[in-house]
Copies of this chain bind each other. A is one copy, B any other.
């Protein structure tokens, strides 16, 4: 069958706050081929990503993403991979193309799975979708006592893994940071997983990061996430060589296979965190998952938006055995909650797994799309290049 249409829907909360919450807007993609339809979601700035799909060609290696997708044959996974390769070649000089491709790739997998009546993870070659321990992600409190209260609340809500990050962490003395981490361990007891997210606070200052290691090791923190800016791989590697049981984590910003591989090869990380909505979709994410297995690095999803995005991000490593954890969006905005008809709730044991249902097993709610839709129109040279399509 041929891809007949690719439609982008830009949704947003009425007010966008200047906070690190990526669930305040969304970019949905609907792909139609034959009599079938699949939805995906880009983890991306909506307007530039739509523009990457509809822009006029600049030259042979700077074409709109649409040029490599519309009208293509889509009969199986090999077609999805082929279309991705086409996009990367034809839109080589268009960095936003990877984000546009991500949602389209996810929608194509979803479409194919629905058509065949099989979950995407089966199409990827996995025999089962294994249960994951969802970790609750939250900010450090301003004081250790606040952190203690917050962490305790998560345990009361049944989480057996928590990630603390940002806030004052890394901005005060190593001793104050130690008090924070100790408060968290004390709050959750000995058996709960703790991860710490430094939010790139140390830039590429290895010494500053090193001063925190002892406290992290002693409190049995599983990983230290993003101590440095992405790309500061020599700093990552140096810090990793000073770790004992603690591991480094990073990779959420990866927008192609190569940048993730560089991080695995050069960064000395123990965990690679991939957002399928950014890296080029499920296809590229799966390639990273396979590469991570071969190189002894643990793959984890990165997700903080809707459960459509969560399902997409769980697929690439759904059947891997040694990957205990998954990121689970904790307090998404109403948009992200209302967006999907189904939700990936925790089971009675508190676990989460990719749905055993056709495609991604999660479908968008047209009413929610209409409610949060941002009417958008782009005109280039007198021609309408994009106008919000009908839901």
Binding site for B on A (CB under 8 A): 10, 12, 16, 18-22, 24-25, 43-52, 54-62, 92-96, 98-99, 229-234, 253, 255-259, 261-262, 265-266, 278, 374-382, 385
Contact = CB atoms under 8 A, between A and B. Distances in A.
Number of copies: 2
B24 A58 contact: yes
Contacts of A231: 256-259, 261-262
Given A99-B95, A258-B231, A59 B385 contact: no
A61 B233 contact: no
A22 B59 contact: yes
A253 B377 contact: no
A94 B47 CA distance: 11
12 contacts: A12-B56, A16-B59, A20-B60, A44-B93, A45-B55, A47-B55, A48-B94, A94-B96, A231-B256, A231-B259, A374-B380, A376-B378
Q: Which 8 A-B pairs have the closest CB atoms?
A: A231-B258, A47-B55, A95-B95, A51-B51, A96-B96, A48-B51, A377-B379, A48-B52
A253 B12 contact: no
A19 B16 CA distance: 41
A24 B59 contact: yes
A380 B376 contact: yes
